[in-house]
């Protein structure tokens, strides 16, 4: 596999005068593949921008190394690195036309005249804005300006494009449209994108792989499906989408299936992650609300005879209608409260549940695993 970018044990400490340093990036190692759309995702302050700035060369790592296409970057200044950066504030030159803005970078490289103009028009074509070449930034919408900023970065044909929350200033509808366009543009040009965002939905929509960061560390790297279906920590499970955390005690496990006691008379089966740290003891079962089914108690469950289905009896505590689905809060054994989301569809018979009524919740073994805390 060809790696475009490798970070090996990268640490960044910011120290200011006599104050103790801030560890912005804490021992981060990443391998980003050629042509990949890679997202750095995490809450504000977790070290995303600092990581990106070190790749770009605007900051030096305190420890560790960064390689681009197998070449160590330690002594390579930003303008000699095969990367280009797009920031949240588009930073276009206000006194120049769009075309001049895009050609500016090429001029720095010694390319001008018709050849530069042609490259600039190709870049505008790529961001689907060929008609604005002679406008000034102030004569365009935010979305258009951001596309021009992209064109300006793409025109230099970098091996890697670094994007720092590039859609953050746009309204929701435009952001969604740009997400889609950016993704198809990236597939079209085939260059590696490293995309920083704090918006989990944005990362899920666009990225081939996501690195979830918290407090300077990378907690998990994986495809959107891995991250959503097999979060390896409470933080990741909680940060991406909605999750129930059911607590219990792992009693034993065999053939990749763990047996977790929730209460005196209730043991449920869960998938065991490979290399799980515990063979018994207190664990948490994370389970997504939409992976749980709900029926009135006493109904013949359609799954009674199926293996790999857990069925528990509980009490309905609350229900909230939210349009696309209804969220039910159910108390289940072991003093656990879980949220169940049932989609509101017309093609199935709907059940009217009453608060306080006895219900059955059920889920498939496939939807479960365990965390060690
Ligand atoms: N130049 C700097 N000097 C001191 N601290 C900084 C500097 N840049 C960032 N930090 C700190 O490093 C941490 C990570 O910041 P940053 O990488 O900007 O996070 P993010 O982009 O994920 O919001 C924060 O605590 C921030 O305050
Ligand atoms: Mg940032």
Q: Which atom of ligand 1 is nearest to the CA of 196?
A: 21
Q: Is the CB of 48 under 6 A from ligand 1?
A: yes
Task: Enumerate residues 6+ apart whose C-beta is below 8 A from 16.
Answer: none
Phi, psi angle pair for 100, to nearest 5°: -65, -40
Whether residue 326 is predicted with pLDDT greater than 60 in this model: the reply is yes
Q: Are 30 and 160 in contact (CB under 8 A)?
A: no
CATH number 3.30.1330.60 is the correct assignment for the domain at 242-367: no
Report pLDDT for 270: 96
Pocket test for ligand 1, best of 47, 51, 59, 211 (most atoms within 8 A of CB): 47
Q: Residue 25 CA: which ligand 1 atom is closest?
A: 14
Which residue puts its alpha carbon closest to atom 18 of ligand 1? 49
What's the confidence (pLDDT) of residue 91?
A: 82
Q: Are 42 and 54 in contact (CB under 8 A)?
A: no
Contact 314, 359 (CB under 8 A): yes
Distance between CA 230 and CA 181 in Å, rounded? Answer: 29
Tell me which residue of 69, 56, 63 sits closest to 29, measured CA to CA. Answer: 63
Q: State the distance from the centre of ligand 2 to the C-alpha of 40, rounded, in angstroms.
A: 10
Q: Is any ligand 1 atom within 6 A of the Cβ of residue 197? A: no
What is the edge-to-edge ordering of all strands in the sheet holding 281-287?
Answer: 266-271, 257-263, 244-254, 281-287
The pLDDT tens digits of the residues spanning 34-68 come to 999 999 999 999 999 999 999 999 999 999 999 99
Per-residue pLDDT averaged across 165-179, rounded?
Answer: 86
Does 139 score more than 90 pLDDT? yes
Nearest ligand for residue 212 CA: 1
What pLDDT score does 12 carry? 98
d(CA 231, CA 368) in angstroms, rounded, equals 11
**Please, which residues have CB within 8 angstroms of residue 224's CB and are 6 or more apart in sequence?**
203, 204, 207, 210
Ligand nearest to the CA of 165: 2
Q: Is 169 in the pocket of ligand 1 (CB under 6 A)?
A: no
Q: Which ligand is nearest to the CA of 13?
A: 1
Confidence bin at 28 (pLDDT 50/70/90): very high
**pTM of the full predicted structure?**
0.90
SS (H, E, C) 188-214: HHCCEEEEEECCHHHHHHHCCEEEEEE
58 CB within 6 A, ligand 1? no
Whether ligand 1 lies within 6 angstroms of the CB of 243 is answered as no
Rounded to the nearest 5°, which phi and psi values hold at 21?
-65, 155
pLDDT at 107 over 90: no
Q: Is the CB of 14 under 6 A from ligand 1?
A: yes
Domain extents in the chain: 3-235, 242-367
Mean pLDDT of the chain: 92
The number of beta carbons lying within 10 Å of the beta carbon of residue 155 is: 25
Three-state DSSP at 139 gives helix
Average confidence (pLDDT) over 149-169: 89
Nearest protein CA to atom 12 of ligand 1, as residue: 24
Q: Percentage of the chain with pLDDT > 90?
A: 71
Ligand in closest contact with the CA of 163: 2
Place of tokens 């109904």: 299
Q: What is the residue with the minimal CA distance to atom 14 of ligand 1?
A: 47
Residue nearest to atom 16 of ligand 1 (CA): 47
pLDDT band at 329 (very low <50, low <70, confident <90, very high): very high
Q: CB-side exposure of 160: number of CA atoms within 13 Å? A: 26
Instruction: Write the CB contacts of 256 (distance below 8 Å, at least 6 apart in sequence).
Output: 271, 272
Which residue reads 């900023």 in tokens? Answer: 149
Q: Residue 25's Cα: distance from chain center in Å?
A: 18
Q: Which two tokens stand for residue 228?
A: 């959503």
What is the pLDDT, as a whole number, of residue 303?
A: 64
Which pLDDT band, with edges at 50, 70 and 90, does 316 fall under? very high
Residue nearest to atom 3 of ligand 1 (CA): 14
Q: What is the pLDDT of residue 242?
A: 93
* pLDDT over 60 at 1, yes or no: no
Residue nearest to atom 25 of ligand 1 (CA): 45
Task: Give the mean model confidence (pLDDT) for residues 160-187.
Answer: 88
Is there a shared CATH topology between the 3-235 domain and the 242-367 domain? no
- What is the average pLDDT across 312-338? 96
CB 292 within 8 A of CB 362: yes
Please state the atom number of ligand 1 nearest to the C-alpha of residue 12.
Answer: 12
Percent of the residues in the chain that have a pLDDT greater than 70, as a whole number? 98
Which residues touch 304 (CB under 8 Å, ≥6 apart)?
Answer: 311
Within 8 A by CB and 6+ apart from 141, the residues are none
pLDDT over threshold 70, residue 295: yes
| Range 3-235 classified under CATH 3.90.320.10 | no
- The per-residue pLDDT for 169 is 79
Q: For 345, what's the count of Cα atoms within 13 Å in the CB-facing half-sphere? A: 6
The pLDDT, as a whole number, for residue 304 is: 57
Those residues with Cβ within 8 angstroms of residue 128's Cβ, 6 or more apart along the chain or in another chain:
147, 181
Rounded (10°) angle between helices 98-108 and 142-154: 20
DSSP string, 217-266: EEEEEE-HHHHHHS--SHHHHHHSS--EEEEEEEEEEETTEEEEEEETTE
Closest ligand relative to 24 C-alpha: 1
For the Cβ of 168 lying below 6 angstroms from any atom of ligand 1, the answer is: no
The alpha carbon of 47 and the centre of ligand 1 are apart by a number of angstroms equal to 6
Q: Is the CB of 45 under 6 A from ligand 1?
A: yes
């Amino acid at each position: 596999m060809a790696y475009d970018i490798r970070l090996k044990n990268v640490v960044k400490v910011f120290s200011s005068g006599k104050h103790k340093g801030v560890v912005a990036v804490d021992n981060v190692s990443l391998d980003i593949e050629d042509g990949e759309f890679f997202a750095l995702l995490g809450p504000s302050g977790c070290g995303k921008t600092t990581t990106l700035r070190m790749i770009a060369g605007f900051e030096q790592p305190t420890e560790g190394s960064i390689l681009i296409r197998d070449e160590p970057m330690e002594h390579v200044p930003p303008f000699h690195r095969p990367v280009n950066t797009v920031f949240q504030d588009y930073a276009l030159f206000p006194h120049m036309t769009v075309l001049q803005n895009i050609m500016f970078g090429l001029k720095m490289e010694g390319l001008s005249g018709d050849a530069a103009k042609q490259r600039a028009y190709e870049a505008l074509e790529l961001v689907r804005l060929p008609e604005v070449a002679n406008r000034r930034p102030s004569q365009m919408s935010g979305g258009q300006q951001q596309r021009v900023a992209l064109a300006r970065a793409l025109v230099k044909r970098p091996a890697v494009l670094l994007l720092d929350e590039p859609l953050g200033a746009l309204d929701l509808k435009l952001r969604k449209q740009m997400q889609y366009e950016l993704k198809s543009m990236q597939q079209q040009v085939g260059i590696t994108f490293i995309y920083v965002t704090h918006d989990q939905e944005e990362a899920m929509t666009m990225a081939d792989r996501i690195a979830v960061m918290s407090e300077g560390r990378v907690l998990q790297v994986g495809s959107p499906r891995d991250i959503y279906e097999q979060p390896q920590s409470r933080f990741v499970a909680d940060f991406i989408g909605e999750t129930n955390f059911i607590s219990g005690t792992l009693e034993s496990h065999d053939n990749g299936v763990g047996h977790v006691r929730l209460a005196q008379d209730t043991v449920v089966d869960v998938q065991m992650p490979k290399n799980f740290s515990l063979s018994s003891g207190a664990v948490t079962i994370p389970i997504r609300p939409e992976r749980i089914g709900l029926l009135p108690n006493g109904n013949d469950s359609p799954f009674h005879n199926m293996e790999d289905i857990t069925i528990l009896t509980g009490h309905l505590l609350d229900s909230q209608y939210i349009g696309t689905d209804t969220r039910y809060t159910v108390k289940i054994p072991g003093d656990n409260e879980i949220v169940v989301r049932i989609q509101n569809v017309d093609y199935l018979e709907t059940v009217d549940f009453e608060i306080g009524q006895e219900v059955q919740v059920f889920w498939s073994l496939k939807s479960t695993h365990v965390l060690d805390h």
